[in-house]
Amino acid sequence: MNEKRIHLPEWEQLPDIGLYMDQVMLLMDRSFTVRMPKGEMTKPMINNYVKGGLLPRPDGKKYDREHLAILLMIYVLKQALNMESIGAILKILCRQDVRTGYEQFRNQLEELEERVTEGKLVMDWTEDSREKLTLRLSIMAALCTIRTYWLLPEPEDAG
């Protein structure tokens, strides 16, 4: 079986200049080259995240590194959670700042992906805080949803 993995770019790999919406869409497509249960991220979705308060308003139609990090986290979490839950998790993650939250999210995702690859993903309830447990279980839920989707047969072409 061809092993698929979700890999988020490191903070330093995210563009440090403002991107227009079309450039954001290209970055999202390149960041997620694998099939995802909820499909691709779209411009209307991003606009709704801004309207719903999950994502800060862009500065003059340009999205910065913090916007991109939040969008990447939303995209993974939305595979298994509703927007209200995602908002609560982002609030916890980004309490200090977006960079710290993104790095924590990315590290947890990488660790869990490694365990999945090794066949050693277990429900671990021994985290030292409720917040860490919430983050871990949220990412696990998203990974389980994504990997279940990958096991389904490829969709047939309608044409």
Domains: count for the chain: 1
pLDDT single digits (tens) 32-48: 767 777 778 889 999 99
Residue 159 included in any domain: no
Residue 156 included in any domain: no
How far is residue 5 from each of residues 36, 49, 91, 114, 115, measured CA to CA in Å? Answer: 11, 25, 26, 9, 11
65-77 and 130-151 helices, crossing angle to 10°: 70
Q: Could you list the residue range(s) of the whole structural domain that residue 19 is in?
A: 11-151
Spatial contact of 35 and 150, defined as CB atoms under 8 Å apart: yes
Residue 157 included in any domain: no
- Spell out the alpha helix ranges (H) of the chain: 21-31, 43-51, 65-77, 83-93, 98-118, 130-151
Q: Give the amino acid at 75.
A: Y
Query: Measured between alpha carbons, how far is 132 from 108 in angstroms, rounded to an integer?
Result: 10
Residue 62 included in any domain: yes
109: pLDDT confidence band, cut at 50, 70 and 90?
very high
Residue 6 has pLDDT above 80, yes or no: yes
Residue 59 included in any domain: yes
Residue 158 included in any domain: no
What's the pTM value of the predicted model, to 2 decimals? 0.86
